[in-house]
Copies of this chain bind each other. A is one copy, B any other.
Amino acid sequence: MTRFVLKLEYDGRGFVGWQRQSNGLSVQQVLEQAAAHLCRGVVPPSVAAGRTDSGVHAAGQVVHIDLRDGLTTRAVRDALNYYLQPHSVVVTAVGIVDDPGWSARFSAIGREYRYEILNRSVRPALAAGFVWHVKEPLDAATMQRASMALVGRHDFTSFRAVACQAPSPVRTIDRISVNRSGERIVIEVSARSFLHHQVRNIVGSLKLVGVGYWPETRIAEVLAARDRSAAGPTAPAGGLTLIEVRYPQDPFAGQN
């Protein structure tokens, strides 16, 4: 077998999320069913770098999957995209890794998420499903300053879903930026890995700072509290996109 690495783009609407679930269609199921056409109908298992939730989008999700030897990266890309066709999921790049222990999930050294807010009175018509619509004016500069308290290695219990199954609540945020571009506020967060709902819970809290409901110093207090109930509500899924996953060596370099 050959370990193929896939880069995926998908519209998270209409999916229960990345992971297979009994209550609806997942991106994983759709991808594995497409891959089964390359495996004589046997559904091959796949592992993703980010287990995106229902409604969360991806521009650069990375997945590994083992397929029979002899397939080219181009053939895998085109065949998967052919069978994925009814769905809003595409494979944008394919690579091959030699190491049988290489994992899209465990070998990743960086993940970047982008969260978009549409900050105006009127609901979105063009970006519906891809932004969080916040009516109250947000002060992006204050949000940016407040977010600095989260950069570095911290116990993120306050920003983790109660259902999060990670053994440790400690994570290291390498970078956060909050930038306004007209009516849009774009929040980018990079870390080696994230806790469940971590980005959405951070955004939900920064929004409370942005509207002036919380002082900017409150984010550091929330972090120190190590208590989920100290943070703001979880921001809606639709504003979130998994942008990029990084590895020690780019598994797509020189391919496609």
Residue numbers of A with Cβ under 8 A of B are 9-11, 57, 59, 77, 81, 88-92, 120-126, 128, 241, 256
Contacts and interface: CB of A to CB of B under 8 A. Distances in A.
**Integer count of this chain's copies in the complex:** 2
A253 B64 CA distance: 54
Contacts of A121: 77, 256
Contact of A92 (B9, B59, B81, B120): B120
Contacts of A122: 9, 77, 81, 90-92
Interface centre among A90, A91, A128 (most CB of B within 10 A): A90
Contacts of A59: 126
Given A121-B256, A256-B121, A126 B57 contact: yes
Contacts of A77: 121-122
Contact of A125 (B11, B126, B128, B256): B11
A7 to B, nearest CB: 10
A83 to B, nearest CB: 13
Contact of A90 (B9, B92, B123): B123
9 contacts: A9-B125, A11-B128, A59-B126, A81-B122, A88-B125, A88-B128, A90-B122, A90-B124, A126-B241
